[in-house]
Amino acid sequence: MAKIAVGSSREAIQPDCIQALIVEFICTFLFVFAGVGSAMAANKLNGDPLVSLFFVAMAHALVVAVTISAGFRISGGHLNPAVTLGLCMGGHITVFRSILYWIDQLLASVAACALLNYLTAGLETPVHTLANGVSYGQGIIMEVILTFSLLFTVYTTIVDPKKGILEGMGPLLTGLVVGANIMAGGPFSGASMNPARSFGPAFVSGIWTDHWVYWVGPLIGGGLAGFICENFFIVRTHVPLPSDESF
């Protein structure tokens, strides 16, 4: 069974951690800027709902693939508190550094949405809310499943050392599953899969309707996928991160 590494506050002053936080902020900022920006553009153009859904899904798929690739070497290109939690459950990142990543991702999302609001002359920043007729329970289950599929893809195409022919394709495949999930779940739960992606628009717009759903669902789905994949599907020979505070 994989052991969760707690880490230490000393990590915050280590050069590699500082560098990782800077890159994670940049990558998350660019992801949210393009993702939320595509939704704002779709609303502004008043296009066909089906075309708009496809447009937003493809924008997310492309920017996820690119920003994961850009940040992977230094920060891992998480972009998402649910991804960070999933990797923490597998012992790939310490609890302490995970908390720093979460703060980093939320600040990046707020910054991106605030800038979008300014650049579009106050155009409404669309928030994730449940569709009419979708209950809290249904929305949470939808987000759990969608985020589970995201983390399952991350683990099997990026984390797994025996990925075989998929070597190097992980970021693209992760982007594609994000796009597919938005097409499947967007009309119902909004298909957030990412608390940071939902937090920025909610903070800037001041609209917190159903917001808690986009923390509970993705974190359950991400954590569950990380635990299952690491402990039941992945066979590795490396030494895991220390589980105590000794570095």
The model's confidence at residue 238, banded by pLDDT at 50, 70 and 90, is low
Higher pLDDT, 235 or 102: 102
- DSSP H helices, 72-169, are 81-89, 95-119, 136-154
**What was the pLDDT predicted at 7?**
85
Q: Are 99 and 76 in contact (CB under 8 A)?
A: no
Q: CA-CA distance, 40 to 38, in Å (whole number)?
A: 5
- Over the stretch 140-198, which tens digit does the pLDDT of each residue have? 999 999 999 999 999 999 999 887 778 889 999 999 999 999 999 999 999 999 999 99
**Distance linking the first and last C-alpha atoms of the chain:** 22
- Cα angle for residues 147, 221, 77 (degrees, 5° grid): 55
Q: What is the pLDDT of residues 25-34, one digit of tens each?
A: 999 999 999 9
Tokens, residue 212: 């808690």
For every residue of 165-189, DSSP letters joined together read GGTT-HHHHHHHHHHHHHHHHTTTT
Enter the CATH code of domain 9-233: 1.20.1080.10
- Mean model confidence pLDDT for the chain: 93
**Measuring CA to CA, which residue among 18, 15, 61 is closest to residue 38?**
61
CA distance 148 to 34: 23
Q: How confident is the model at residue 246 (pLDDT cuts 50, 70, 90)?
A: very low
Please count the other Cβ atoms lying within 10 Å of the Cβ belonging to residue 3.
12
Q: Compute the residue count for the chain.
A: 247
Residue 229 near residue 159, CB atoms below 8 Å: yes
| pLDDT above 70 (res 2) | no
Q: How far apart (Å, rounded) are the C-alpha atoms in residues 35 and 109?
A: 10
- Within 8 A by CB and 6+ apart from 140, the residues are 213, 216, 217, 220
Q: Look at residue 115 in the predicted model and tell me its pLDDT.
A: 98
CA dist., res. 78 & res. 64, Å (int): 10
Q: Encode pLDDT of 81-99 as tens digits.
A: 999 999 999 999 999 999 9
